[in-house]
Amino acid sequence: MEDSKQRRTFLKTAAAAIATAQFPILGANDRIRVGQVGLGGRGTDHIKYYSSLKSDCQIAAVVDVNQSARERAVALVKKEGGAAPKEYADMRAMFESKDIDAVSITTPNHWHALATIWACQAGKDVYVEKPASHNIYESAQMVAAARKYKRMVQVGSQSRSIAHKMQAIQLLQEGVIGQIYNARGLCYRRRFSIGHTPDEKVPAGLDWGGFLGPAQYKPYSKNKFAYNWHWFFDTGNGDIGNQGIHEMDICNWGLGRGGWPVSVSSTGGKFVWKDDQETANLQQATLDFGDAQITFEVRNLPTPPEGLVAGLKPNYTGNIFFGEAGFLVVDNAGFQVYKSSAFNVSGEAARGAGAGGQEKYEKIMDEKVKESSAWSTNPHMQNFFEAIRARDHKLLHAEIGYGARSAAYVHLANISMRVGRTLRMDQASGRFLNDDQANSMLTRDYREPFVVPRAV
């Protein structure tokens, strides 16, 4: 027995030595040296989160195509108590550094895949913001790179590390509302018109070509830069891929589907506003899996509360899961479970209950959380560090396999809306049946040399 134990220990140690000959395993007390790529609003948030986790990590480098953003980031790291990080204008130079263990990517969406693949190829672990990818082809390539180079790749869907949301999903999986037939995502996020901004000279200190990267070249304008890149298809995915990807990921998580829908249908467009925005401010999508559906709504215009659930507010974002025995509502404030009087305590249909319109709904659970902790990214980053130290991607709460599939559902909805018809899918290939136009939108026309490779 002892010999067998010693042999297992030897094999485990030898395998670890072989797998990490180039990239050493970090000890439990070693701080992980992080390079932050992208220094806009979310990048600034990441710096603050990482700075609060000083025992786990050190921000050792910052990368951005904008000189002033790099300067602000260095100042912020120092203000938060860290040593001045090294500055890079090009992420590839930072990836080559042996002084970096992991990278945190908060670039615009169109850069997520290529930055992640380059980082994996350079032996770095990756935390990449949501949505994982800009298109479906990229999703598959990101997963392939993570597996080939044995990298930890965590997608920034932090709901998967928030305690009350983890509890809610566990209850669904345990059958608290019986068989789920519909997972609904609500992205009623009030926004306003971005207006028109003219093409103009690129500001000093900004590498506009570097910002565009994989996207085809277009002249600089203020609306194409900073936050509003979300609303152009070359660089963003609209609000279904911005705020909405959080709710789409929760739909996917709770419904427990890993494959492709049988069909996808999405309608919508841009209403009221007369501006530069290309993406929808009103969108409805249905992903049909045969025995259940994901339904999703985006509305950036005024929206009232709906349904009988207490606490739903105007301009609400969250999820409602519908089951044969009731429904569950989950959002940043907590979750509630409502049970139908047509089902008894064991969840079985109560004979005669609900006949003649007498069915009632009783709230059987009401979990509220402190608002300050409802959307924190710290637990998600700590989970990332745990997986890095253990060298086990299965420990990641939002591992790239999950994140890529949830992002793909967003892309399916956008493709259906843009071509204007319901699309049916081949379950084996993940391609659309008999629709060349839709299939052409599974990837993009990349601008050399910023090409997501077929062989990662």
pLDDT higher than 70, residue 345 = no
Give the residue extent of every domain in the chain: 2-159+378-399, 161-374+406-434
Say how many CA atoms lie within 13 Å of 73 toward its Cβ.
31
Using CA atoms, how far apart are residues 249 and 159, in angstroms rounded to an integer? 9
- pLDDT at residue 13, rounded to an integer: 41
Question: Could you tell me whether strands 361-368 and 334-340 are parallel, antiparallel, or unpaired per DSSP bridges?
Answer: antiparallel
Length of the chain: 456
Paired residues of 371 in beta bridges: none
Two structure tokens written together for 34:
């992080």
What percentage of the chain exceeds 90 in pLDDT? Answer: 83
CATH numeric code, 161-374+406-434:
3.30.360.10
Two structure tokens written together for 64:
């951005």
Using CA atoms, how far apart are residues 11 and 204, in angstroms rounded to an integer? 56
pTM of the model: 0.91
- pLDDT at residue 347, rounded to an integer: 53
Q: Kindly state the average pLDDT of the residues 272-280.
A: 98
Considering only residues 372 and 75, tell me which one the structure prediction assigns the higher pLDDT.
75
Residues 231, 279 contacting (CB under 8 angstroms): yes
Using CA atoms, how far apart are residues 77 and 44, in angstroms rounded to an integer? 9
- pLDDT at residue 313, rounded to an integer: 83
For 89-109, what is each residue's pLDDT tens digit?
999 999 999 999 999 999 999
pLDDT higher than 80, residue 16 = no
Two structure tokens written together for 148:
């080939």
Average pLDDT in the chain: 91
Residues 87, 61 contacting (CB under 8 angstroms): yes
- pLDDT at residue 351, rounded to an integer: 52
pLDDT higher than 80, residue 424 = yes
The pLDDT confidence band at residue 305, using thresholds 50, 70 and 90, is: confident
The pLDDT confidence band at residue 329, using thresholds 50, 70 and 90, is: very high
CATH 3.30.70.2970 applies to domain 2-159+378-399: no
pLDDT higher than 70, residue 3 = no
pLDDT higher than 90, residue 28 = no
Task: Show Cβ contacts of residue 111 under 8 Å, excluding neighbours closer than 6 positions.
Answer: 38, 105, 213, 214
Residues 129, 158 contacting (CB under 8 angstroms): no
pLDDT higher than 50, residue 279 = yes
Element (H or E) spanning 154, and its range? strand 153-155
- How far CA 395 is from CA of 153, 155, 169, 276, in Å, comes to 11, 13, 17, 42
Q: Kindly state the average pLDDT of the residues 209-221.
A: 98
Q: Where are the beta strands (DSSP E) in 176-225?
A: 180-187
- How far CA 119 is from CA of 22, 59, 104, 137, 215, in Å, comes to 14, 16, 10, 18, 19
Q: Kindly state the average pLDDT of the residues 320-343.
A: 92
**Angle, in degrees to the nearest 10, between helices 136-148 and 112-121:** 10
- pLDDT at residue 341, rounded to an integer: 83
- pLDDT at residue 343, rounded to an integer: 74
